[in-house]
Amino acid sequence: MENSGIVQIRKRLLSKEVSATEVVWYYLNQIEEKENDINAFITICKDEALEQAKQFDENFEVESKKKMGGIPIAVKDVFSTKNILTTCASHILDGYKPVYDSTVTERLKKEGMIILGKSNLDQFCHGSSTITSYYGPTRNPHDLSKLPGGSSGGSSAAVSADMCAGALGTETAGSIRLPASWCGVVGFKPTYGRVSRYGVLAMGSSLDSPGPLTKSVEDAAYMLEIMAGYDTHDFTTYKEEVPNYYKNLDRGKIKGMRLAIPKEYLEVDLTDGVRENFNKSIEILKSLGAQIEEISIMDPKFSMAVYTITCRSEVSSNLARYDGTRYGLEGKDKDTVKNYFESTRGEGFGEEPKRRVMTGTFSLSAGYADEYFKKSEQVRELIREDFDNIFRKYDVIVAPSTPSTALSDRDAENPLFGEIADILAEGSSLAGLPGLSMPNGFENNMPTGIQFISNHLEEQKILDVGYGLERGLI
């Protein structure tokens, strides 16, 4: 079982080499052994997971036909999960158990997914470190003194530490790709609207994209196919048919594919190991037949500025609903509700959410909205147009996932830490583009990552490129 991925476990389950109960117990034992050091989970669903595994084993003929049957997954604690504690790593949602599932978790559950637990994150997804969580920081499995990245740090750490077969994350601008790179796993951020946001506690409504974190590219393709598709609950989702990403995987398609390297992304302050491993990966891609050229792209400093304003403006709007009275207080007496209301709005939010609310409220306020938010959206449109022009000539953009390997807690004290760490992902997120981050080596025993970005709804292209490189690196 050690370090087996979703597709591998699926094959072993279908051949009856292992039972679902054995698979779940393997991961529960992994969690028991490592969780105190890593703190990847907020909630562990031990009894529920074992019961689901038992149902799979006892009803094998029916359950084995489901694509995720018997597969234990960690779910980022930003997805609504029916009757399971959903906190968004915040104090203000203490005790909140949704009465419904998010569309993503519902689709995966219908295909037999076993929820192993709810994974840790930066509070309300505000951060790139997973140290702003009310439930304590998550540590990087490769070095416990290092950060896992964020905001999907708990999911990435759980996959990296072999505490689950795969995990769900969300990305607003780097929140899947950054922790995937720092923890040495595969992270896939779909086209905005390819996967439903319904039931996902919102951070930036025009940016949020749920996606998988896995041990291989084929696992990411396998999960994405189930998650994606039109949803009547989310008017931003695409109605286009979802391809069979997993079965369509073809590393041979790299031959003749046109890949572009933005020179501005290489002018960022990259560490030596990140740059060296990136260059090695490019040589492998060339040997597989890719045509690679260096291009010019809008300076990423503009993406950083736009993201800072756009995201914080949307945060200030989305957090207004958390007033301390509507979530997690079912069945409480009047005095409890009164005391909670009087204290929680201030105490329930950590420092980072408070900063973002204040900044966002300022940029939306009378007299400043035109100067900041409106101008930011105008530049965002120029960023989209820049990417559109690139994809008229090239199939895929390739770049390092992040400028460095995992940093330390001290680095995260910088208020713009997240924007700096995510600088190579922010532009594509603002444009709503799909992106794949995958490990491509190590620097001082810490993973480095390479990312691929394609045009809207062209997920298959970057899956194919990643699939080919993955085998080229073996």
**CB-CB contact of 163 with 35 (8 Å):** yes
The dihedral through the CA atoms of 149, 153, 156, 160 has a sign that is positive
| Distances 428 to 79, 297, 314, 388, 413 between C-alpha atoms, Å | 23, 11, 18, 11, 26
Catalytic residue among 4, 34, 76, 428: 76
**CB-CB contact of 103 with 199 (8 Å):** yes
Burial class (CB in 10 A: 0-12, 13-18, 19+), 273: middle
**CB-CB contact of 111 with 19 (8 Å):** no
Nearest to 424 by CA among 268, 308, 275, 276: 268
Token pair 């039109």: residue: 230
Catalytic residue among 175, 401, 429, 437: 175
The rounded Cα 215 to chain-centroid distance in angstroms is 14
Catalytic residue among 4, 80, 102, 151: 151
**CB-CB contact of 43 with 77 (8 Å):** yes
User: Rounded to 5 degrees, what are φ and ψ at 442?
Assistant: -135, 150
Nearest to 327 by CA among 77, 98, 80: 98
User: Rounded to 5 degrees, what are φ and ψ at 68?
Assistant: -110, 15
Burial class (CB in 10 A: 0-12, 13-18, 19+), 124: buried
Distance between CA atoms of residues 288 and 276, nearest Å: 19
Nearest to 238 by CA among 6, 13, 457, 468: 457
Residue 234, SS3 per DSSP:
strand
Residue 152 annotated among the catalytic residues of the structure: no
Structure tokens at 134: 């009310």
Burial class (CB in 10 A: 0-12, 13-18, 19+), 15: exposed
Pairing of strands 72-76, 258-262: unpaired
Residue 76 annotated among the catalytic residues of the structure: yes
**CB-CB contact of 390 with 294 (8 Å):** no
Which amino acids are annotated catalytic? 76, 151, 175
